[in-house]
Amino acid sequence: MYNSYMKYKKNLVPEYSEAFGKVEDYVNSNIIDSLRQDEILNDVIDIFLSAQKDGRTVENVIGKDIMKFCSDLCSEVSIKSRIISVLEYTIAVLIMCFGRCAKDLFTVLQKIIEGEKINLFTYKINATPWFFLCWFGSYLAIMAVGKVIVSKFLKVSREKYRMFRYYAIAACVLPWMVVYSQFFREYENGTCSVLTVLIYFICSGAASVVYFILACEKRKINRERLEALIEEQCKPGSRSYKNFDDLEQKKFKNINEKNVREGKPEISFEEFLDMEEKNAGRKGPAFYFCTFVPVNLIILGLGHILYSLGHYAELIVYSALLIALEIYVIYVSYRGAKYTRMKRLAWIKSQR
């Protein structure tokens, strides 16, 4: 994030700092998606800093009851926000489940590649859907209970709260591990692979949808923050402004000198800016070299090892994942760079 509130916590005087700590703990343990949490805390710290500057007391700003203040802050939260908050955890859990499931799915894929005839409806693999769902469900239950306990205990001092939080987590994890070790020892009588794969893909689909929604909303907010940041950087007198303007002027001069040398007509500054906008996303060859080469070397190296070990299934899956990741990273950085440049060029145009 461009401007997280955490940087400004140290600007608070002790009185406000303690109050803010409590608010932060409450909001973070409430069931709201992380984006809203960040927004709320940004708002609160802005108000605290303004009130501090004006010399108001904490009680003046918050009122007598800090718990009421906190619960009011978090009162207008939509169901969508709460669902997203719950599902944000599931992404992490699903990634862990992928690891558990992957081993069995690779065995199946490997056998298919080696030519063994497998009927996916009757072949049994180890990870049963029940194991999957119970593990998953219990994890969610623990997180939810933990959050509720934590937010109820905000009335105690912050140190006690911090200590308690770790005890609470330990207290939840311990019984869960006992249950896990007792109930899921005997799962050799697996169930049909198709059902397991289906459940896994449904959950992955849900996680992808959540990720997509979160990414869209974050992008919208980040755009606005980015605009604010660029506007500040482009203020005359700021260092970035001078650098950016100088850079563009130099480029313009170089292009025209080249044109004159080659006997072509000189271009105007407007035409130059239009040209720059068209090429906005392109990065130099150095960038592509530094991203493509190491990643592809890793893929080749890993591929060679897996191939020589005979793990063809894993080879296929990991290579596909790494290549997809590579494409994703390049696309995102292209889009980000293009957006920044377009904004800056638009700003220069508007100044003329």
Partner 1 sequence: MDNAQLLKGVLEGCVLAVIAKGETYGYEIIGELEKAGFDDIGEGTLYPVLTRLDKNKLIKCRRAKSPLGPVRKYYSITDEGSDALSDFKERYRKISRSAETLLYDDVPADNV
Q: Which residues bind partner 1 (CB under 8 A)?
A: 2-3, 5, 7-8, 11, 39-40, 42-47, 49-51, 53, 61-63, 68-70, 72-73, 75-76, 78, 221, 224-225, 228-229, 231-232
Q: Which residue lies nearer to partner 1 by CB, 53 or 239?
A: 53
Q: Which residue lies nearer to partner 1 by CB, 36 or 315?
A: 36
Q: Least distance from C-beta 75 to partner 1, angstroms?
A: 5
Q: Least distance from C-beta 43 to partner 1, angstroms?
A: 6
Q: Which residue lies nearer to partner 1 by CB, 68 or 282?
A: 68
Q: Which residue lies nearer to partner 1 by CB, 134 or 229?
A: 229
Q: Least distance from C-beta 42 to partner 1, angstroms?
A: 5
Q: Which residue lies nearer to partner 1 by CB, 5 or 252?
A: 5
Q: Least distance from C-beta 81 to partner 1, angstroms?
A: 11
Q: Least distance from C-beta 326 to partner 1, angstroms?
A: 32
Measured between alpha carbons, how far is 101 from 292 in angstroms, rounded to an integer? 30
Question: Using CA atoms in the order 190, 191, 192, 195, what is the torsion angle rounded to 10 degrees?
Answer: -130
Spatial contact of 84 and 213, defined as CB atoms under 8 Å apart:
yes
Measured between alpha carbons, how far is 79 from 87 in angstroms, rounded to an integer? 12
| Residue 8, φ and ψ in degrees, nearest 5 | -95, 0
Specify the 3-state DSSP secondary structure of 131. helix
Spatial contact of 56 and 19, defined as CB atoms under 8 Å apart:
no
Q: Least distance from C-beta 220 to partner 1, angstroms?
A: 10
Measured between alpha carbons, how far is 89 from 139 in angstroms, rounded to an integer? 9
Q: Least distance from C-beta 74 to partner 1, angstroms?
A: 9
Q: Least distance from C-beta 35 to partner 1, angstroms?
A: 12
Q: Phi-psi region for residue 156, left (φ > 0), alpha (ψ -120 to 50) or beta?
A: beta
Q: Least distance from C-beta 209 to partner 1, angstroms?
A: 22
Q: Which residue lies nearer to partner 1 by CB, 64 or 278?
A: 64
Q: Which residue has the tokens 């271009």?
A: 267
Measured between alpha carbons, how far is 26 from 24 in angstroms, rounded to an integer? 5
User: Which of 158, 71, 340 is closest to 231 using CA atoms?
Assistant: 340
Q: Which residue lies nearer to partner 1 by CB, 3 or 351?
A: 3
Q: Which residue lies nearer to partner 1 by CB, 9 or 111?
A: 9
- DSSP secondary structure, 101-160, as one string: HHHHHHHHHHHHHTT----TTT-EES--HHHHHHHHHHHHHHHHHHHHHHHHGGGS-HHH
Token pair belonging to 69: 């203040």
Token pair belonging to 2: 């461009």
Measured between alpha carbons, how far is 307 from 101 in angstroms, rounded to an integer? 21
Measured between alpha carbons, how far is 116 from 108 in angstroms, rounded to an integer? 9
User: How big is the CA angle at 60 (ends 54 and 61), to the nearest 5 degrees?
Assistant: 75
Q: Which residue lies nearer to partner 1 by CB, 44 or 203?
A: 44
